[in-house]
């Protein structure tokens, strides 16, 4: 699959209530690399195998949740083109100058139908992954990979009322594919949507919720199921609150653990899943198989997983 246009979810900015605890969680426990820190305490992180300067941003606040999600376009011309499509589709954009987010180029800000602030950008400073671009080898320098051994930001799941209203953004403006969806088996109403702009099962997902602008989780990719169990051992050792796992999803087929940061924002570590191509049909699950769709090893849905969002 040739990845072009809008490539991926490139940045998630979340609110945290205790910066010191959040920095310990994301930096020491999850193992992300701190790359920048603002005067107000806003802190920027990348995973070891990401080249961009940051993919996760934590901001001090008096309540948890998501500040914004940002999508990376392949180049500046595409950025202009997609912003024009969003305007034409009824999602008015506001151009933000370069350095609105540090060491990042100009952006377009818009609001999703689910009430989430979204950004579209094409340029961000790259700092590499610790390996040279010529004769890079196979592993980064010792000590680079820490904590839960996160490879990169994988996706996020957001909640809101009008998840159908986001279809024009991802289908028509971004050109992404609807990889999977969950529907009510009696009414056929869509309850969750999974969108991909790449070969992954999903780059972002939405779940129908009564309140807009809700945050379910940010997910970090691991290399293997063995790393999932390593992460679980760390969660036990450091007494990190676990929501679900280790287990496997039916939707996406990924191996997973869900856990919480000190502010109550849910995180996920994730691996495996399947390869998606443009000719892969949309996979449909219904609520008669809700347990298998969510957690396929014991086929048991968890109330906290379905209802707790920030």
pLDDT digit string, tens, across residues 215-239: 999 999 999 999 999 999 999 999 9
Selected catalytic residue, list 44, 54, 121, 258: 258
Percent of the chain with pLDDT over 90: 91
**pLDDT band at residue 54 under the 50/70/90 scheme:** very high
**pLDDT band at residue 203 under the 50/70/90 scheme:** very high
Quote the CA–CA distance of 109 and 300 in Å, as a whole number. Answer: 39
Selected catalytic residue, list 249, 274, 276, 277: 249
The β-bridge partners of 160 are: 208
What's the mean pLDDT in 255-262? 97
Contact 16, 94 (CB under 8 A): no
The answer to whether residue 217 is catalytic is yes
Domains of the chain from N-terminus onward: 6-121 (3.10.180.10), 152-303 (3.10.180.10)
Distance of CA 126 to the CA centre of its chain: 19
Selected catalytic residue, list 68, 116, 119, 217: 217
Percent of the chain with pLDDT over 70: 99
The answer to whether residue 276 is catalytic is no
Q: What is the pTM of this model?
A: 0.96
Kindly report the backbone phi and psi dihedral angles of residue 240, in degrees, each rounded to the nearest multiple of 5, phi listed first.
-80, 130
Question: What's the confidence (pLDDT) of residue 2?
Answer: 57
Q: Tell me: the pLDDT tens digits for 71-93? A: 999 999 999 999 999 999 999 99
Selected catalytic residue, list 119, 155, 216, 276: 155
Quote the CA–CA distance of 37 and 45 in Å, as a whole number. Answer: 9
Q: Quickly tell me which residue has 């940045």 as its tokens.
A: 11
Selected catalytic residue, list 68, 202, 216, 276: 202
The answer to whether residue 155 is catalytic is yes
The answer to whether residue 268 is catalytic is yes
Q: Tell me: the pLDDT tens digits for 84-135? A: 999 999 999 999 999 999 999 999 999 999 999 999 999 999 999 999 999 9
């Amino acid at each position: 699959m040739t990845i072009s246009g809008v490539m991926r979810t490139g940045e998630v900015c979340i609110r945290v209530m205790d910066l010191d605890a959040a920095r310990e969680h994301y930096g020491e426990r999850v193992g992300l690399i701190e790359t920048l820190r603002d005067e107000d305490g806003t802190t920027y992180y990348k995973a070891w195998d990401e080249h961009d300067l940051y993919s996760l941003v934590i901001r001090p606040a008096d309540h948890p949740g998501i500040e914004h999600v940002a999508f990376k376009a392949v180049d500046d011309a595409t950025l202009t083109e997609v912003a024009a499509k969003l305007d034409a589709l009824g999602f008015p954009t506001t151009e933000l100058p370069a350095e609105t987010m540090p060491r990042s180029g100009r952006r377009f800000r818009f609001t999703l139908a689910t009430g989430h602030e979204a950004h579209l950008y094409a340029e961000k400073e790259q700092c590499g992954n610790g390996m040279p671009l010529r004769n890079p080898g196979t592993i980064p320098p010792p000590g680079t990979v820490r904590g839960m051994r996160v490879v990169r930001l994988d996706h996020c799941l957001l909640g809101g009322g009008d998840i159908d209203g986001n279809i024009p953004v991802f289908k028509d403006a971004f050109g992404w594919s609807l990889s999977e969806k969950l529907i009510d088996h009696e009414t056929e109403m869509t309850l969750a949507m999974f969108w991909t702009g790449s070969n992954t099962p999903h780059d972002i997902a939405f779940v129908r919720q009564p309140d807009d602008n809700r945050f379910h989780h940010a997910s970090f990719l691991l290399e293997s199921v063995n790393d999932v169990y390593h992460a679980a051992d760390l969660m036990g050792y450091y007494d990190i609150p676990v929501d679900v796992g280790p287990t496997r999803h039916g939707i996406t087929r990924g191996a997973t653990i869900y856990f919480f940061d000190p502010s109550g924002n849910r995180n996920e570590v994730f691996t495996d899943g399947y390869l998606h191509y443009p000719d892969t049909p949309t996979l449909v699950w219904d609520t008669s198989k809700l347990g298998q769709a969510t957690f396929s090893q014991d086929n048991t849905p968890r109330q906290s997983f379905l209802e707790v969002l920030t």
